[in-house]
Amino acid sequence: QVQLVESGGDSVQAGGSLRLSCVASGYTYNTYSMGWFRQAPGKEREGVAVIYTGGGVTYYADSVKGRFTISQDNAKVTLYLQMNSLKPDDTAMYYCAAGRIAPTYSDYDLRAGAYNYWGQGTQVTVSS
């Protein structure tokens, strides 16, 4: 059973930075693509970034491109999301997820329904 545990959420001022972490267990290395999602109150869950199986290729939503970076450690145990130049619109609960997806390198790969396993989330609040 795949288990994902996020951490690193906090309250920051606009323009600040945070790094989220997601520790993964219970799966074979290189089996899943890993994604970060976020959900603000009253809004649908939104895909933010994905790192494809193998770890060499990434894709980002336009809303975070150039500001956020998704990465994994060499052992592929921990997934990261480095968030810079944060804006109040980035305020949300952030989730990591794992899924077996056939890459299209498009927003199609950021659909929540494509991912099978989810963490419990970590809250990010950005104040102006």
What pLDDT shows up at residue 111?
97
- The answer to whether the CB of 66 falls within 8 A of the CB of 128 is no
Task: Look at residue 18 in the predicted model and tell me its pLDDT.
Answer: 98
Identify the pLDDT of residue 1.
Answer: 86
Strands 58-60 and 18-25: unpaired
Pick out the chain residues at pLDDT < 50: none
What pLDDT does residue 29 have?
Answer: 66
